[in-house]
């Protein structure tokens, strides 16, 4: 399904146990690595350890009682990360009197991208598309009716730039599933950029001499997260592009056109095919070394 930018919706502020700039008690906990590599019990223990009663109250205030929440865990690139799954189930238990349910994203949706965000620099994450597809053609037809009188809450663990959860939200919205909130263990749950951030992106691009006839930077910014917009404006264009030689600038312009085509023009099918091919190659190499 091609993307129509008019489908984009404003995500309401969600809940995060720890803010974006908090010290990192999550990654430093020994349970974290176990949870990320397939240990569900470690993930559950970590969530219970970090959660507080004040967060339960905040969560319950956020979700309207007349709209039962559906906690939907974001599929992981590695397919071993148990934190979003344990977190979604935990939150459903905390709000079960409101009729809460949960879905394990990895059981229904596959991430086509092969690069994990934690392995990439912030500016490189912009050019690494997050792409998803469903295992079952009938999944959305069966799921959509359940969302008509419910609040869909995406559940993620660490939200750094928000690229993965934002791409997953876009994927769901494109397939007729509205998304109301996002819940994270750590990070900023405000994904949508502010108008001032979009204006800064456009002004920075013009000041750098980037062609604004081929790229509508305001439209591009609306498809990115707040963190991505600021990285694109301040770091990628404002610093890297300004200091680059002409050959590197040409490459960076091409990358920007690709990003614009992917996010705004709905040409994700090209990247989908490329990523599927890469996954097949990776699997063949794994089998050959087994």
pLDDT digits (tens, 9 = 90+) for 97-141: 999 999 999 999 988 876 666 666 666 777 777 889 898 889 999
Rama region for 11: left / alpha / beta (φ>0; ψ in -120 to 50; rest): beta
Strand stretches in 86-159, DSSP E: 101-103, 109-111, 132-134, 151-155, 158-159
Cα-based distances in Å from 45 to 42, 218, 266: 5, 43, 41
Q: 222: how many CB neighbours lie within 10 A of its CB?
A: 18
pLDDT of residue 269: 53
* Centroid of chain to Cα 207: 30
Whether the pLDDT of residue 227 is over 70: the answer is: yes
The bridge status of strand 109-111 relative to strand 132-134 is antiparallel
| 163 contacts 117 by C-beta, under 8 angstroms | yes
pLDDT of residue 272: 54
pLDDT digits (tens, 9 = 90+) for 142-190: 999 999 899 999 999 999 889 889 999 999 998 999 999 999 999 988 8
pLDDT digits (tens, 9 = 90+) for 26-83: 989 999 999 999 999 999 999 999 999 999 999 998 887 778 999 999 999 888 999 9
Domain ranges of the chain: 5-187, 195-263
pLDDT of residue 6: 38
The bridge status of strand 101-103 relative to strand 69-73 is parallel
pLDDT of residue 14: 87
Q: What is the CATH number of domain 5-187?
A: 3.40.50
Q: Which of 53-67, 81-95, 199-213 has the highest mean pLDDT?
A: 81-95
pLDDT of residue 1: 28
The bridge status of strand 181-187 relative to strand 132-134 is unpaired
Of 219, 265, 217, 222, nearest in space to 237 by CA: 217
Q: What is this structure's pTM?
A: 0.83
Greater model confidence, 280 or 54? 54
| 128 contacts 152 by C-beta, under 8 angstroms | no
């Amino acid at each position: 399904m091609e993307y129509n930018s008019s489908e984009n919706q404003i995500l309401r502020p969600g809940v995060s146990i720890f803010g974006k700039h908090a010290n990192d008690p999550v990654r430093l906990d020994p349970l974290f690595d176990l949870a990320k590599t397939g240990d569900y019990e470690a993930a559950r223990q970590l969530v219970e350890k970090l959660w507080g009663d004040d967060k339960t109250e905040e969560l319950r205030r956020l979700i309207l009682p007349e709209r039962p929440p559906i906690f939907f865990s974001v599929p992981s690139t590695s397919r071993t990360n148990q934190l979003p799954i344990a977190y979604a189930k935990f939150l459903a238990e905390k709000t079960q009197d409101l009729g809460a349910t949960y879905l394990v994203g990895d059981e229904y949706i596959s991430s086509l991208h092969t690069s994990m965000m934690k392995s990439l620099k912030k500016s490189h994450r912009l050019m690494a598309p997050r792409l998803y597809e469903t295992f079952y053609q009938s999944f959305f037809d069966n799921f959509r009716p359940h969302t008509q009188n419910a609040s869909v809450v995406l559940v993620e663990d660490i939200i750094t730039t928000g690229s993965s959860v934002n791409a997953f939200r876009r994927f769901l919205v494109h397939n007729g599933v509205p998304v109301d909130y996002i819940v994270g263990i750590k990070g900023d749950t405000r994904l949508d950029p502010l108008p001032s951030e979009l204006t800064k992106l456009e002004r920075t691009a013009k000041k750098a001499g980037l062609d604004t006839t081929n790229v509508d930077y305001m439209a591009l910014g609306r498809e990115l997260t707040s963190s991505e917009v600021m990285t694109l404006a301040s770091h990628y264009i404002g610093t890297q592009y300004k200091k680059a030689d002409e050959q590197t600038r040409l490459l960076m312009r091409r990358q920007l056109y690709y990003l614009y085509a992917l996010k705004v023009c709905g040409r994700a099918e090209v990247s989908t095919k490329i990523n599927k091919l890469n996954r097949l190659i990776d699997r063949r190499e794994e089998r050959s070394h087994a």
